[in-house]
Amino acid sequence: MNPGRRRSLRISAFVAGLLVVSYLVLGIQQFQNFLTLGAVYALVALGYTMVYGIIELINFAHGDVFMVGAFVSMWIMTVPLGLLDRPIDNPLNLGVILLIVVVATMVVMGLTGVIIERFAYRPLRHAPRLAPLITAIGVSFILQNIIQALFSSSPISVPQIFPRVKLDIAGGSIGVLNIFMLVVALLLMVGLQLFVSRTRLGRAMRSTAQDREAAELMGVDINQTIAITFFIAAALAGAAGVIQGLYFGSIQFNLGFFAGLKAFTAAVLGGIGNTTGAAIGGFIIAFIEVFAAHLGLARWSEVAVFTVLILVLVFRPSGILGQALGERA
């Protein structure tokens, strides 16, 4: 068996084990919370790890891109579509509306990511690493203040258009909304893996991550490749923003800080620069949080999350998988 096949089997076994343990430990009700929260963290973490894998930038503004995505989806639902805070019982209408909201939000946020890269990061591409890092923090504050000025500093309600329908599974009930969120997240993650591994643009991204100068000599348009990377990363954050609003029912201008911090932790935990590791890290972080809440220690969930991060950085600095995007042939 070749090493790549063996590695894929180990990853699959680890994911299956995580799911089984989570189900047995948490029970069906908390298990669905774990899957939904993990989907959000995984999508945001993918954006962190993609940007770092390409230009080695820790984009601290990415959490606020996720926050803006939540507000954009809320605005699309309430203004152009004129939706009210009540369930849509017709499955066809609900499906069309969700498709419009998810796609429109991803496109808007993808273009936002491209604009941020073009005007905030590209001029500093050859500057010392501290300069783009400080710029990323500045972009984060800019996004927060724009949303605060346009909407409010108070929580904003998101129309709850999903009917409260639940399916009885294994002695418990799982909401259709939870199933929808998990399916969307999995489709996006699988689509990203296929895009990176099997398309010309994906090969350009991997070659740029491995050796930017050599890729440019081979004819790769570096500016276009990096812009596409930011578009995809921001679009995934936008999709996570849609899930956030639908699941929790309200959003606030500062929600991106903690979500972004935990997603960054997930990316480091899985192996910064590794898309598969980032997704797995997102679900591990979600399991730690939900398990702490299950034990009645919700206030200590952040302590547990960052304790795990410290232990990983001390004993395995490269993360669980620890392979950069460019090395993934």
**Model confidence pLDDT, tens digit, residues 296-329:** 888 888 888 888 888 888 888 878 776 555 544 3
3-class SS of residue 37:
helix
| Band (274; pLDDT cuts 50, 70, 90) | confident
Residue 328, pLDDT score: 44
Could you tell me the two tokens for 95?
A: 């499906």
Instruction: Say if residue 240's pLDDT is above 80.
Output: yes
pLDDT at position 220 over 90: no
Q: In percent, how much of the chain has pLDDT > 70?
A: 95
Q: pLDDT band for 167, please (50, 70, 90 cuts).
A: confident
Considering only CA atoms, which of 71, 124, 55 is closest in space to residue 272? 55
Residue 145: which region, alpha, beta or left (left: phi > 0; alpha: psi -120 to 50)?
alpha
Residue 242 scores a pLDDT above 90: yes
Rounded Cα gap, residues 100 and 105, in angstroms: 8
d(CA 279, CA 309): 15
Looking up tokens 């100068």, which residue turns up?
A: 213
The predicted pLDDT at position 329 comes to 39
DSSP annotation of 324 reads: -
C-alpha to C-alpha distance for 26 and 181, rounded to whole angstroms: 19
Using CA atoms, how far residue 15 sits from 40, 50, 95, 284, in Å, is: 17, 21, 29, 10
Query: Residues 193-208: pLDDT tens digits?
Result: 888 888 888 888 888 8
Mean pLDDT of 143-156: 92
CATH 1.10.3470 fits 3-327, yes or no: yes
Query: Average pLDDT of 249-270?
Result: 89
Beta partners for 157? 250
- At 58, list the tokens: 């820790």
Give me the mean pLDDT over the 16-26 stretch. 83
Q: What is the pLDDT of residues 50-91, one digit of tens each?
A: 888 888 888 889 999 999 999 999 999 999 998 888 888 888
Best-predicted range by mean pLDDT (20-34, 129-143, 257-271):
129-143
- Kindly state the DSSP code that residue 326 receives in the 8-state scheme: G
Amino acid present at 158: V
The per-residue b/e assignment along 66-96, b for 16 or more CB within 10 angstroms, e otherwise, is bbbbbbbbbbbbbeeeebeeeebeeeeebee
The kind and range of the H/E element at 136 are: helix 130-150
| Stronger pLDDT, 230 or 170, i.e. the higher one | 230
Cα→Cα distances 1→182, 216, 233, 278, Å? 32, 35, 34, 26
- pTM for the complete prediction? 0.91
Instruction: Give domain limits for the chain.
Output: 3-327
pLDDT over 90 at 27, yes or no: no
Which tokens hold the place of 115?
């604009």
The pair of three-digit structure tokens given for residue 2, joined into one six-digit string: 């070749």
